[in-house]
Structure 1
Amino acid sequence: MSRTQKTVIVLAAFVALVLGLTVNKVLNSKGDGTDKVALLDAGIVLLPQSRSLPALSLTNQDGQAVAVDGLKDKWSLLFFGYTFCPDICPATLAQLRQLLGMLPDEAKHRLRVVLVTVDPHRDSPEQLKKYLGFFDPAFQGLTGAQADIQKLANGVSIPFIPADTSQENYTVDHSGNLVIIGPDGTQRGFIRAPLNNDKLAAQLPSLLVLQ
């Protein structure tokens, strides 16, 4: 087994452990008006307590600075991926486009989708904007320094393995899980991959009315 394969296994195990511990805490926490079992069945894992995001700035698809702890006023779904991804990323973004189309207008307007690149070496703002336009022009993209992106990913418990950019046509090992950010700019939970759009469309509207 190669070193990369071992690292991928460790990464997957770490993410699974974090989600497993979170699910256990959720099921044993006091109710807040949401149907936790139905949410979990849809792949939505809410944190028992919201988590602040790292105080750092990235650059969006329009070249503008964005404070990641300033993603407020709407709910946000953060997906850590990259535009040269051969499989997980285009499939996930296509599913998210479909999911938005399945939501009532009120719920859809409360939600933004943000792709945080794990490949800043190739994903410039221009590249992100062009790529996201294939799926939905309203999707947002964030890029920046590798260290800042890793800090954000680790801060929301979605770590990834930086690529060897000296290799031609390199790929980046990353998770397909989504991060849920509330309208107050704090992390509220995760959506586990693979996405089930039918169940998500049924459960998200009740979640998106919460503050």
Structure 2
Amino acid sequence: MIDDGRNIVLLSDVAKDKWSILYFGYASCPDVCPTDLATLNQTLGLMEEANKLQVVFVSVDPKRDVGNLNAFVGRFNTGFIGLSAEEEVLAAMTKSLGVYHEVEKTKQRALTENHSQHKSMKMTMKKNVNYLINHTASYLLLNPNLELIGLLTNPHRAPKMAKALDLIIETLD
């Protein structure tokens, strides 16, 4: 895997003998990823065993995300770690874990946000968007040996997930 500086990072070094939640997504995701990361942050806040858990966001869009991952995940929780991988490594990793991701081409267009209604700021921002990525929106739970223990699927409800994760960690740790 790689970090924002394109340095090679081993998941075992990141997890540091902790339980891990892997979440595969991308920073420019318009809705699902931000919601799920916010839910993960809320879940950690409700857990008794949160100090035994490391959240790792794995970008399925390294072209756009590498260099921006820490800033993106840091908006939700500064303890979250953002990583990605080169396309071939990412494809092998997602396949082995049963994680789906696929680029969906969209028409070349510019999303425009007009802030002219603000007296102190008149500006228009344009951002080119020509693809979205459909992807698995589940959390993958790995034990400290990096073995896949569980898959938390939608709907993600922080109170229920916190109880379930605490129970799993207390029981299997």
Counterpart residue number, 1:88: 32
Q: Percent identity?
A: 31
Equivalent residues in 2 for 1:172-187 (5 A)? 172-187=133-148
Contact 1:79–1:179, Cα closer than 8 Å, also in 2: yes
Match for 2:102 among 161, 172, 196? Answer: 161
- Opposite residue 135 of structure 1, the aligned amino acid is F
Report which of the two has the higher share of strand: 2
Q: Alpha-carbon deviation of 1:165?
A: 9.7
Counterpart residue number, 1:101: 45
Distance 1:61 1:165, change over 3 A: farther
Name the CA distance, whole Å, in 1 between partners of 2:6 and 2:74. Answer: 15
Counterpart residue number, 2:115: none
RMSD: 2.0
Distance 1:154 1:72, change over 3 A: farther
Q: Alpha-carbon deviation of 1:187?
A: 1.1
Structure 1: runs of 5 or more not aligned:
1-57
**Total equivalences in the alignment:** 151
Name the CA distance, whole Å, in 1 between partners of 2:7 and 2:106. Answer: 25
Name the CA distance, whole Å, in 2 between partners of 1:147 and 1:163. Answer: 18
Matched, 1:129 2:70: yes
Cα deviation digits, residues 35-66 of structure 1 (max 9, x gap): xxxxxxxxxxxxxxxxxxxxxxx112465422
Relative to the length of structure 2, the TM-score reads 0.79
Name the CA distance, whole Å, in 2 between partners of 1:155 and 1:166. Answer: 32
Report which of the two has the higher share of helix: 1
Distance 1:166 1:123, change over 3 A: farther
Counterpart residue number, 1:66: 9
Counterpart residue number, 1:201: 162
The 3-state SS of whatever aligns with 1:189 is: strand
- Opposite residue 94 of structure 1, the aligned amino acid is A
Relative to the length of structure 1, the TM-score reads 0.66
Counterpart residue number, 1:36: none
Counterpart residue number, 1:26: none
Name the CA distance, whole Å, in 1 between partners of 2:7 and 2:86. Answer: 14
